Structure 1
Amino acid sequence: MSTSPGPASSSLPAVARETTAERPWPVRTLSLKISDYVTKMSPLWVEGQIVQLNRRPGMGTAFLTLRDTDVDMSLSVSIPVPALDAMPSPPQPGARVVVNAKPAFWTKRGTLQLEARQMRHVGVGELLARLEHLKQLLRSEGLFDAARKRALPFLPRRIGLITGRNTAAERDVVANVHRRWPAAVFEIRQVAVQGSDTVPAVSAALTELDRMDGVDVIVISRGGGSFEDLLPFSNEAMVRAVAAARTPVVSAIGHESDTPLLDFVADLRASTPTHAASAVVPDRQDELSGLHTVTSRARRSLATRLTRQRAALAELMGRPVMRDRHAIVQRHRDDVTAARREGRARIGTRVEREHDRVAHLRSHLRAVSPQHTLERGYAVVRHSGGQIVRDREQVDPQEVLRVTVARGDFAVTPVTGPAAAAAG
């Protein structure tokens, strides 16, 4: 059985972009390339938090793990023991330090390591200056505005609690909530609240509770601590996670002198875990007392109103019109009778007046009628065609005229000869 020989070193691509599936780099070549690149890097200062510190007696080199304070990333660091001894105080796990180191790549293991030359503690003054800068940055983005803070529900269906494992803060919140409202239900996430794991652990628990249906409020609780212990609660990643949460968040760190940035972004700041318990649920006894007071007032108000209505009804029923139920009908009946009598009288008067007026008009018409004129001896002469004769010149001597008198009419002929002339 034979195997194909590897590619000759003389035929290897010179740079990474020239590699192909047919002409790849061996692992050793890539490791050497990376080592060459890292070796060319200049020494630098890097900041982080000590997670592990291994210093064995008799050894000239100590090893530690340096973790980023915002994300879960770490690097191995080697440092000469004299460099550690030169520090004012021995470094402890959890301390924030800055390290002057030269990156080194170990080709056999394929790992990157920092070879430290000097280490310094991050001073409180410097940390305060950084926190103040971050505070101003977040404030300028509106994360601390009162307008974006949400009101806590009156009675949450479920309370999310993020706290340390078996801590007094957890017992204070749970005990005081159940004392105020025994039926309260919790979703508790016990995580690290001190050290390098605090930020990722608290942020992950917050995200989980924020996505749960029925969790109406989330309490982040810790029982106080030193300035360094509370630094994770001013971490930018945690502050932004709280700002992005859909569920109202209560900060209950349990401190007075120091104010982490979590207090500014939370929807409510509680000075202690006990204060947080009083903020997330109402007091059952107070609510029952208030309900009893409201019920008593409602009963008294209803009784007073019923008494007044009964008195008003009794007064109404005591009136004469209500004692004699027919009195009001009789009064309206009398009004109708009087109105009918008055109407009839007015109609009679009007009819009589109109009767007199008609008689007067009849007499007037009779006086001016043609018949009345005829009765006085006048006559109406018409041509044979019916036209009234108004002029003698209109009369033909041979024509037969019609004469109408009061009691009939008759025919006549015009007078001719001497008689007509004498008449003319």
Structure 2
Amino acid sequence: MSATAGNDSSPETPWSLRKLSESLDVYINRLGSVWIDAEITQWGVSGGHVYGRVKDPEEDVTVDITIWRSTREKIPDGVGHGDRVLLKVKPNWYVRGGKLSMNVLDMRLAGLGELLAKIEALRLALAAEGLFDPERKNAPPFLPRCVGLVTARDSDAEKDVLHNATARWPEVQFQVEHASVQGDRAVPEIIAAVDRLEASAVDVIVIARGGGDFQHLLPFSDEVLLRRVAALDIPVISAIGHEADKPLLDDVADVRASTPTDAAKRVVPDVAEERLRLTDARSRLTQRVANLIDGERQRLDMMRQRPVLAMPLTVVDRHAEDVLRLVQRGVDVTDTLLSLQGSRLESLRASVRALSPQATLDRGYAIVHKASGELVSSPQSVTKGDALRLRVKDGDIAAEVTDS
């Protein structure tokens, strides 16, 4: 179809939308293919084709690109988000959809894009400072009293976190602080939200966003935000929800969740699972106590079956016989000892009697004493007229010396 300058249209004879779209298609096809310098901000594969978006490295201008399966072999290996590339593109206008895209005919890798290079440099600097070290990370509490949530107002990320966390633990409490999650206002608003949550003394903070283009995720790699999060004593869960382009917040945060839904699973336990664990623990404890009681009952039964408990008087009788035997033995030994000592006593008595002065007196001898009691053993020890006392067998006899 040939296009004119449009002088054949008027309020009386307007073009149809189809005619306008077909005219645009003619004009755009005349451009042919061109080489452009661009930075990849979105990259996805579906059905063997690649659908993405690129931006001008210097200006805020973006266009969609399509790489058909037939030209995939011209794409350098490993190319993806953030790469700066040289593209040979042919503009393509979809008449029915009224949409412009660029079919990529050839691609050459021009190196990392400027934004990705800056982020990589910041990553290395923060890693060297130790902000990514596992030792400095704080584990979230098992069951937080209050969870702080930073996310966009009325966002799917907010709904996912609140719904899934409440489903897992119905009593969980949230303090939600809304902030922009993309654009120039994102960083100051997220920092302000974090400040409010820190002042409220929440137990854990979740920063959530439902994914997005590489360019949209740039605030979550901002150095000011990263250092603010690193300075928090409260555990932080990063739930940006973008696997391919991991922002630096994922490295600085204490826990990285792959999606907002994953963050909900990490921030609170599952009440159903905890009940099952309690039931299992109670069951195992009950079984262990039952086993312990059964074991002690068996030991008690075994002790009851022992002869000493089955017939306790047997032990008493046996010891009673031993006591009687020992008593009789004691009596016998005592009698023997008394008899021996009696015989010995009689022998000693006889010896004493044989040596006693009385025995001498019994044979008719006498013992002479002076009146003073002095023993007279010689006639020279007395003089005439001395009073004497003679002791004989049956008594004493008074005497006087008549002849010295």
TM-score with structure 2 setting the length: 0.58
Q: How does 1:65-214 map to 2 (within 5 A)?
A: 89-90=58-59, 124-137=116-129, 139=130, 143-212=131-200
Secondary structure of 1:161's match? strand
Are 1:253 and 2:240 matched, yes or no? yes
Aligned to 1:109: none
Secondary structure of 2:203's match? strand
Distance 1:402 1:193 in 2: 148
Give 1:332 deviation, angstroms.
1.0
Residue 370 to residue 248, structure 1, CA distance change in 2 (3 Å): farther
Cα offsets for 1:52-106 (capped at 9, x unmatched): xxxxxxxxxxxxxxxxxxxxxxxxxxxxxxxxxxx963369xxxxxxxxxxxxxx
Aligned to 1:349: 333
Instruction: State how many pairs are aligned.
Output: 294
Q: Report the more deviating stretch, 267-276 or 314-323.
A: 314-323
- Contact 2:122–2:223 (CA under 8 A) maintained in structure 1: no
Give 1:183 deviation, angstroms.
3.5
Secondary structure of 2:176's match? strand
Q: Which amino acid aligns with 1:125?
A: A
Are 1:285 and 2:272 matched, yes or no? yes
Secondary structure of 1:332's match? helix
Give 1:307 deviation, angstroms.
5.4
Q: CA RMSD in A?
A: 4.0
Q: How does 1:322-333 map to 2 (within 5 A)?
A: 327-329=311-313, 331-333=315-317
Cα offsets for 1:147-188 (capped at 9, x unmatched): 443332222232221112222222222232233333433221
Q: How does 1:395-406 map to 2 (within 5 A)?
A: 395-397=381-383, 400=387, 402-406=389-393
Residue 336 to residue 219, structure 1, CA distance change in 2 (3 Å): same
Task: State, as a whole percentage, how many aligned pairs show the same letter.
Answer: 37
Secondary structure of 1:220's match? strand
Distance 2:353 2:248 in 1: 120
Q: What are structure 2's unaligned runs of at least 5 residues? A: 1-55, 62-112
- Contact 2:308–2:314 (CA under 8 A) maintained in structure 1: no
Cα offsets for 1:90-140 (capped at 9, x unmatched): 369xxxxxxxxxxxxxxxxxxxxxxxxxxxx97542453244223312x1x
Cα offsets for 1:253-272 (capped at 9, x unmatched): 22334444433443222232
Q: Which amino acid aligns with 2:177?
A: R
TM-score with structure 1 setting the length: 0.56
Q: How does 1:213-292 map to 2 (within 5 A)?
A: 215-292=202-279
Residue 353 to residue 318, structure 1, CA distance change in 2 (3 Å): closer
Distance 1:250 1:321 in 2: 69
Give 1:404 deviation, angstroms.
4.2
Q: How does 1:375-414 map to 2 (within 5 A)?
A: 375-377=359-361, 382=369, 384-386=371-373, 392=378, 395-397=381-383, 400=387, 402-410=389-397
- Contact 2:388–2:400 (CA under 8 A) maintained in structure 1: yes
Aligned to 2:344: 360
Secondary structure of 2:356's match? helix
Give 1:298 deviation, angstroms.
4.4
Residue 133 to residue 353, structure 1, CA distance change in 2 (3 Å): same
Q: What are structure 1's unaligned runs of at least 5 residues? A: 1-86, 93-120, 418-424
Secondary structure of 1:182's match? coil
